[in-house]
Amino acid sequence: MLADRDARIDAEQVSGQYSVWRDVLRVMRCPRPPCRYEGQYYWQDPEGKRHHRLKTHYLKTLVKYVEQAGVLETHADVPDSVHEQLYAENQRLNKKKKAAENSTSGSVCPPVYINVLPARSSQPSIQPSANDAMRTRPGCTESIVIDGLLDNSVDEYTE
């Protein structure tokens, strides 16, 4: 598109015709350096003062408008059809953004915790088998009978 535009501008300069592209781009470029759209083309909404970025197809539409004897000297001269397209695109982007925000905030999954234990040692276990444990345990066949409260009996025993 830029090569095509440059070729048209060069042809217009050689032939002495006035450049429609140059005039459209001059009007639609942001003139102030502090603007975040500096170096880009935009249309400023006269009511809300909001800047709408002009993509290539919008610029082509404006060039065709001027070529068909339309007047484009300020942002207020932009045709209503372009206004409507820009508003519709803005609404579509806002709906898409809201849908993305709702889908991410509405489906928050609970965190998943995974505990990883250290690998088992390759050394053989030293724990005795159940039969060995039975043999080494002292054989206690009688149950212990404690008279009175357990706390008092323990205190008396330790004195």
Encode pLDDT of 12-24 as tens digits.
777 766 778 888 8
Evaluate whether residue 79 is within a structural domain. Answer: yes
Structural domain contains residue 57: yes
Q: Quick check: is 138 in a domain?
A: no
Please indicate, yes or no, if residue 125 is contained in any of the structural domains: no
Domain that holds residue 54: 2-103
Span 111-126, average pLDDT: 76
How many distinct structural domains can be found in the chain? 1
Band of residue 113 on the pLDDT scale cut at 50, 70, 90: confident
In a domain, 39, yes or no: yes
For the stretch 26-34, contacts whose Cβ atoms lie closer than 8 Å and that sit 24 or more positions apart, written own/partner, are 27/72, 27/73, 27/74, 27/75, 27/77, 28/54, 28/59, 28/62, 28/75
For CA atoms 89, 90, 91, 94, give the dihedral sign.
positive
Is the residue at 121 inside a domain?
no
Q: Taking all residues of the chain, what is their mean pLDDT, rounded to a whole number?
A: 77
- Is residue 120 in some structural domain? no
Residue 53 bridge partners (DSSP)? 42
User: Does the reported pTM lie above 0.85?
Assistant: no
Q: Is 14 exposed, middle or buried (0-12, 13-18, 19+ CB in 10 A)?
A: exposed
